[in-house]
Amino acid sequence: MAIVAQSSKYGRVSRATLAWVVGLLFFFPIFWMVLTSFKTDADAVKPEYLLFFQPTLENYLNMTENYDYWRFARNSVITAVFATIFALAVGIPCAYAMAFNPSRATKDVLMWMLSTKMLPAAAVLYPMTFLTKSMGLFDTHFLIIVVLMLINLPIVIWMLFTYFKEIPKEIIEAGQMDGVNTWGEIREILIPLAWGGIASTALLCFIFCWNEAYWTVRLTTTEAATLSKLIEGNRAPEGLFFGRLSAVSTAAVGPIVVLGWFCQKQLVQGLTFGAVK
Amino acid sequence: MSDRRLPRLLQSPAVILLLIWMLIPLGMTLYFSFIRYVLNSLRRPEWTKPALSNWRGFGNYEFVLENKDFLLAIQNSLFIVCSILFLTVILGVLIAVLINKAFPGRGIVRVLLISPFFVMPAVNAVLWINMILDPVLGLQGLAVAGINDLISSLQNAPVVGWFFSLWPQFEPISFRATQTSAIAVIMMVTWQWTPFAVLIFMTSLQSEDQQQKEAAILDGAGAWSQFRFLTLPHLARPIAIVVMIQAIFHLSLYAEIEIVSRGNGNKNLPYLIGEFANNNIGAASATGIFAVILANIVAIFLLRMIGKTLME
């Protein structure tokens, strides 16, 4: 490593400085949103209060009154949590079978699943609206849960498959010798062994569900509307409500950004389907 | 217990669900694209119900192809997607190389950098178009006003005043306008997706052959030729993957376009489909089929690349 360390001190310092500047620049819009959320709506657009102002929690305290935030947040939590649970419930057995009993068709099935993910959502917009309205499912939690589960199922199965493949087949087979049935194998051998992988898959699935902004906007009106719909509905406040809009935006993305910090590694695997290691 | 039946049984719920999800809506889109089908029509009420007797053949496709919005939407889709790809890949490679070596606080910089990726698209768009890009009240407006104030106060200064009186007053740019709204979308999506590119390139750089690099240094290779002949070829595959995954995501951009300008000046295919779907379902469906074809062209390449690494 002596050779790599050859670069001059000046070079190293300027490199580190530049890296910090880039990092701070990319974070700046988020910082700005959080900062604005502590200004009153009036202060938020005054240049003299750009950086120094009297911080207030008013925007956060009035979130329910201004935007009915908690109703949308509740919908986001319910739909994302149940979609994730169902995706895992369907995905774990499927990935288990693919990883430990692969057939010649397994590869093709996996590729086909991935291809469903690449279908542009807009292409089936009207049929989805038509079907869900005629079945009375439009704007229900059930519908959003099912749709979120389906659009994330391919990624969930892929991620689980790559994790399960790492587990030695012998361990699972040892269970079979002991006369444990399939359900027991999954519950008592597979899930404890692959716990970390399953947890990060769930986390990533949850994040994708939370941030989804096509179906959650187009297939809801009020009942099942999520935070994406709430923000989208307040797109142009004409500068009057920068403070309160920042607060509700911060509340909408804050938890997810923090969750995201914990699954950076899994993100690479999940989004590139294991093609970059 | 048969060896073959059980795995199939375990896979079947997922396969059946995805099959239904894919085939039924897409089949309906295909069907609607060949019939006359509108939601409201006083003169031809029979067109408001989907029926085979309203068969139109390729009429909807012809209608869409002759619609000038369609060409604009294709152009715009490609302009937005290609610009974002170009910017994210260049920025992604530069930043990944920059933070690949250890420096104080590298972990924190990584966290700062990756954060934009987790911001929900609706918040991203609302934040940029209002708080940052608004020509009067956003940071852009405030910055331009500040610069103009500074210039006009310098015009009254002794000695150098004549020099500053030659300067113009700057005009802030409105990013909701027809000509600029696509630029705003490109900016906000680039901000959101550059972290994704950085993360993938960094993961890949960590598996770069260090010995080869040291050998190159011993041979007197400079930083540029190391980058050009070792790092860049190593990144070729991740770059291809980043390009294709992003192409698929960005071809279906919707929330950002809706929020920035309601499609004014920067309609893309999904947006156009949404507009047609307000009344002309036949045209919306035909446009949808075009969008599927476009996405498939990209997807075939991506699936080939992923397929190669599968099962190794």
* Tokens 């939690």, located at residue: A141
Contact at CB, B259 and A235, closer than 8 angstroms: yes
- Whether the Cβ atoms of residue B243 and residue A272 lie closer than 8 Å to each other: no
Mind telling me how many Å the CA of B46 is from chain A's nearest CA? 17
pLDDT digits (tens, 9 = 90+) for A24-49: 999 999 999 999 899 888 887 777 77
Mind telling me how many Å the CA of B139 is from chain A's nearest CA? 9
Confidence of residue A7 (pLDDT cuts 50, 70, 90): low
The token pair at B279 is: 């009344």
- Helix orientation angle between B68-98 and B269-276, rounded to the nearest 10 degrees: 140
Q: Which of B103, B118, B129 to mutate to test the interface with A (most CBs of A within 10 A)?
A: B118
In a domain, A39, yes or no: no
pLDDT digits (tens, 9 = 90+) for B183-225: 999 999 999 999 999 988 988 888 877 788 788 888 887 888 8
The token pair at A240 is: 């009057």
* Tokens 């104030």, located at residue: B149
**Interface residue B122 vs chain A (CB under 8 A):** yes
Q: Which residues of A touch B199 (CB under 8 A)?
A: 264, 267-268
In a domain, A49, yes or no: no
Contact at CB, A98 and B11, closer than 8 angstroms: yes
Domain of residue A156, CATH code: 1.10.3720.10
Q: Is the dihedral of CA A61, A259, A200, B94 positive or negative?
A: positive
- Helix, strand counts (H, E) of chain B: 14, 0
- Whether the Cβ atoms of residue A228 and residue B122 lie closer than 8 Å to each other: yes
A-contacting residues in B 29-68 (Cβ below 8 Å):
29, 32
Mean pLDDT of A219-245: 83
Q: Which CATH architecture has domain B59-119+180-312?
A: Orthogonal Bundle (1.10)
Contact at CB, B113 and A23, closer than 8 angstroms: yes
**Interface residue B111 vs chain A (CB under 8 A):** yes
pLDDT on residue A79: 95
> Which residue in A214, A216, A203 sits closest to A88, CA to CA?
A203
Mean pLDDT of A193-202: 87
Other CB atoms within 10 Å distance of the CB of residue B93 = 21
Mind telling me how many Å the CA of B1 is from chain A's nearest CA? 10
Q: Which residues of chain B carry a pLDDT beneath 70?
A: 1-4, 309-312
- Whether the Cβ atoms of residue A77 and residue A141 lie closer than 8 Å to each other: no
Pick from A2-11, A120-129, A142-151, A245-254: least confident: A2-11
Q: List the domain range (segments joined by +) for residue A94.
A: 70-233
pLDDT on residue B210: 79
Q: Which helix (H) or strand (E) holds B183?
A: helix B181-205
Residue A3 has pLDDT above 50, yes or no: no
Q: What secondary structure does DSSP assign to A64-116, as a single string?
A: HHHH-HHHHHHHHHHHHHHHHHHHHHHHHHHHHHHHHS--TTHHHHHHHHHHH
Contact at CB, A32 and B214, closer than 8 angstroms: no
Q: What secondary structure does DSSP assign to A219-255, as a single string?
A: T-SSTT--HHHHHHHT---TTTTHHHHHHHHHHHHHH
Q: Which residues of B touch A103 (CB under 8 A)?
A: 4, 7
A-contacting residues in B 232-291 (Cβ below 8 Å):
237-238, 241, 245, 248, 251-252, 254-255, 258-259, 269-271, 273-274, 277, 281, 284-285, 288-289, 291
In a domain, A19, yes or no: no
Mind telling me how many Å the CA of B20 is from chain A's nearest CA? 10
**Interface residue B220 vs chain A (CB under 8 A):** no
pLDDT on residue A236: 67
Mean pLDDT of A79-87: 96
Which of B26, B116, B217 lies closest to A3 in CB terms? B217
Contact at CB, A90 and B204, closer than 8 angstroms: no
B47 vs A161: which has the higher pLDDT: A161
Q: Is the dihedral of CA B227, B228, B234, B239 positive or negative?
A: positive
Helix, coil or strand: residue B254: coil
Q: Which residues of A touch B218 (CB under 8 A)?
A: 3
Contact at CB, A231 and B123, closer than 8 angstroms: yes
Q: Which residues of B touch A90 (CB under 8 A)?
A: 13-14, 17
Task: Name the average pLDDT for chain A.
Answer: 85
> Which residue in A137, A98, A138 sits closest to A114, CA to CA?
A98
Q: Which residues of B touch A45 (CB under 8 A)?
A: 137
Confidence of residue A106 (pLDDT cuts 50, 70, 90): confident
Mean pLDDT of A220-227: 89
Confidence of residue A5 (pLDDT cuts 50, 70, 90): very low
* Tokens 């692959």, located at residue: A194
Helix, coil or strand: residue B38: strand
Q: How many domains does chain A have?
A: 1
pLDDT on residue A2: 41
Distance CA A24, CA A100 (A): 45
Helix, coil or strand: residue B283: helix
In a domain, A244, yes or no: no
Distance CA A6, CA B279 (A): 67
